[in-house]
């Protein structure tokens, strides 16, 4: 783990926890995990899963399907973490819908795309598993009741060479989470407990293996705290034995105001993120404490498609990714010029936006496009964006430019050149891949024009515990798996390298959740 110090000014700002509390939560230099000889187990299961997102529920579903008795612990009052508020987009390389629509894809092409976005530091063996098993995992999710829009041309996400993403029926992760939770709970002996917080692992007498967990029932998450609630003794302490193993699926830490800033000091404490309130680092830090190997912890991905004009994830990511960015442009409001490939990977785009925001924190870039840029299936989002005001509609480019204080002549010139380049079949200066073979200009000069202000938001923490291709957690001390401990999903690190491509989170979480459930 990267060791950082907190400045005095930061310490004062950390408020609620104070420096000592914040450092304790953040570096978790606390008591060693209890041993089974020191505790009395209240209940016994085969498998204990920490977290009820994609990774946790896929792991639990697979283990439960194998006839194992499974307990899922969820610290929040509701099931699904970030997964249930996710956009429901699942990259499935070489899927059946691609084949039906003549889109040529392969696991190798998927790996190539992921490596490009990940700046080559991805742990390739993990990508190989995803490439090989995504379609099968998709089928498993469907078997558990997940509902996808199949039989349609797949969606094209930024950074992917081809359209390979299948979206859920309601364009939300809830279409996977709810059926999977119901699937597990239906099976005999299986249970899902909300408001139950994992506090620590319970180790074997020799301290080598994970044999259970310490948790608190009736726990109430306090969102005012900046980091994990380590000090809080609220709730009833319980010990759960795991006969076969514990699967850590506690997600990322984009909402951990202390830990994320220790890793990436650019992220201000009051910076909004796309995540649910419970996306904190505590469970991952407990795994580090028992020896799990940390990887890529300070790579925190920020969503370049988010807007400062709404809280959290909101509707802007859908309106930009499946709309304005595809055929439209993003411009620097100070000069009316494009400054990035709107379809590049997330890191490239967020970094490009940050270059502008560092120079002027109020000069949020603006994404601009016309009606035809919106995929037909996001009509409801277009309506919602206009209703909430996160997206605005203008009859003319002059009106749009006046609203955002963009030099109008420069903006018109930018769009003219953009349209002409695409129509001439030439590659534009940013090599945007969605401008090829268009029959008409990408931006319809008749208007009306739609616009959204942009702000990168912490979205996915790339780092986490190191697992192998069987989802076993690797010890930093021995280089071997820690017996009894598995992990999957955003709490793991390395798979996506420096930056994850859009729609690969579901692929990663479900594939490795399933792998963990198979191997535990």
138 SS3 class? helix
Task: Identify the residue whose tokens are 């006969």.
Answer: 243
Q: Which of 262, 490, 493, 517 binds ligand ADP (CB under 6 A)?
A: 490
Task: Identify the residue whose tokens are 């202000």.
Answer: 453
Does 54 participate in binding ligand ADP (rule CB under 6 A)?
yes
Q: Which of 82, 209, 274, 364 binds ligand ADP (CB under 6 A)?
A: 82
Angle in degrees, CA 451, 456, 457, rounded to 5: 120
Q: Which of 91, 400, 509, 520 binds ligand ADP (CB under 6 A)?
A: 509
Residues 282-301 as x/- pattern, contact with ligand ADP by CB under 6 A: xx------------------
Catalytic residue (choose from 346, 349, 453, 500): 346
Binders of ligand ADP in range 191-230 (CB under 6 A): 197-198
Determine the Cα–Cα distance for residues 298 and 262; give it in Å rounded to an integer: 8
Does 474 participate in binding ligand ADP (rule CB under 6 A)?
no
Q: Tell me, what DSSP letter sits at residue 203?
A: E
Pick 279 or 356: Cβ nearer ligand ADP: 279
Does 75 participate in binding ligand ADP (rule CB under 6 A)?
yes
Please choose, from the candidates 414, 441, 446, the residue with its C-alpha nearest in 3D space to the C-alpha of residue 340.
414
Query: Which window, 24-32, 51-59, 126-134, 316-324, contacts ligand ADP (CB under 6 A)?
Result: 51-59
C-alpha separations of 1 from 266, 385, 465 in Å:
18, 41, 10
- Least Cβ distance, residue 116 to ligand ADP (angstroms): 23
What is the side-by-side order of every strand in the sheet holding 366-370? 337-338, 329-332, 366-370, 449-453, 391-394
- Least Cβ distance, residue 57 to ligand ADP (angstroms): 8
Query: Which window, 2-10, 124-132, 385-393, 488-496, contacts ligand ADP (CB under 6 A)?
Result: 488-496
Determine the Cα–Cα distance for residues 181 and 60; give it in Å rounded to an integer: 9
H or E element, residue 367: strand 366-370
Binders of ligand ADP in range 264-283 (CB under 6 A): 278-279, 282-283
Residue 346 annotated in active site: yes
Rounded to 5 degrees, φ, ψ at 24 are -65, -45
Does 249 participate in binding ligand ADP (rule CB under 6 A)?
yes
C-alpha separations of 81 from 56, 211, 245, 278, 374 in Å:
10, 25, 22, 7, 28
- Least Cβ distance, residue 430 to ligand ADP (angstroms): 31
- Least Cβ distance, residue 192 to ligand ADP (angstroms): 11
Residues 55-74 as x/- pattern, contact with ligand ADP by CB under 6 A: xx----------------xx
Determine the Cα–Cα distance for residues 220 and 217; give it in Å rounded to an integer: 9
- Which residues are designated catalytic? 346
Binding residues vs ligand ADP (CB under 6 A): 50-56, 73-76, 81-83, 197-198, 249-251, 278-279, 282-283, 489-491, 509
């Amino acid at each position: 783990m990267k060791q950082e110090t907190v400045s005095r000014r930061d310490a004062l700002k950390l408020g609620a926890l104070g420096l000592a509390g914040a450092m304790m939560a953040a570096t978790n230099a606390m008591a060693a995990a209890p041993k089974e000889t020191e505790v009395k187990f209240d209940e016994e299961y085969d498998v204990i899963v920490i977290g009820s997102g994609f990774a946790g529920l896929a792991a639990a579903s697979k283990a439960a399907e194998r006839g194992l008795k499974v307990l899922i612990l969820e610290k929040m009052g509701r099931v699904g973490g970030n997964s249930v508020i996710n956009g429901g987009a699942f990259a499935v390389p070489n899927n059946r819908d691609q084949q039906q629509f003549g889109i040529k894809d392969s696991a190798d092409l998927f790996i190539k795309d992921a490596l490009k976005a990940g700046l080559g530091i991805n742990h390739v063996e993990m990508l190989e598993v995803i490439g090989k098993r995504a379609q099968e995992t998709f089928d498993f999710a469907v078997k558990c009741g997940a509902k996808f829009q199949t039989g349609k041309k797949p969606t094209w996400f930024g950074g992917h060479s081809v359209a390979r993403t299948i979206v859920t029926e309601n364009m939300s992760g809830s279409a996977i989470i709810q059926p999977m939770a119901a699937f597990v709970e239906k099976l005999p002996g299986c249970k899902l407990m909300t408001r139950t917080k994992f506090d620590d692992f319970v180790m074997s007498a020799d301290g080598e293996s994970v044999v259970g967990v310490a948790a608190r029932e009736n726990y109430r998450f306090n969102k005012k705290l900046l980091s994990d609630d380590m000090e809080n003794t609220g709730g009833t302490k319980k010990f759960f034995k795991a006969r076969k193993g514990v699967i850590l699926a506690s997600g990322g830490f984009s909402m951990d105001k202390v830990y994320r800033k220790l890793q990436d000091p650019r992220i201000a404490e009051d910076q909004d993120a796309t995540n649910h309130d419970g996306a904190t680092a505590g469970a991952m830090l407990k795994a580090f404490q028992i020896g799990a190997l940390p990887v890529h912890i300070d790579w925190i991905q920020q969503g370049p498609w988010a807007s400062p004009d709404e809280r959290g994830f909101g509707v802007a990511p859908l309106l930009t990714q499946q709309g304005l960015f595809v055929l439209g442009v993003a411009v620097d409001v100070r000069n009316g010029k494009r400054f990035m490939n709107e379809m590049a990977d997330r890191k490239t785009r967020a970094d490009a936006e940050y270059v502008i925001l560092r120079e002027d924190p109020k000069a949020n870039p603006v994404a601009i496009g016309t009606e035809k840029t919106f995929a037909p299936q996001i009509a409801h989002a277009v309506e919602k964006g206009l209703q909430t005001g996160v997206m605005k509609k203008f009859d003319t480019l002059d009106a749009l430019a006046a609203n955002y204080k963009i030099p109008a002549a420069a903006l018109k010139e930018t769009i003219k050149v953009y349209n002409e380049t695409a129509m001439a079949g030439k590659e534009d200066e940013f090599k945007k891949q969605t401008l090829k073979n268009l029959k008409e200009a990408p931006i319809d000069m008749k208007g009306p024009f739609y616009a959204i202000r942009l702000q990168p938001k912490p979205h996915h923490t790339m780092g986490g515990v190191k697992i192998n291709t069987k989802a076993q957690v690797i010890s930093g001390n021995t280089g071997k798996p820690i017996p009894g401990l598995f992990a999957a999903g955003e709490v793991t690190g390395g798979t996506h390298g420096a930056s994850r491509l859009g729609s690969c989170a579901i692929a990663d979480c479900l594939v490795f959740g399933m792998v963990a459930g198979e191997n535990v």
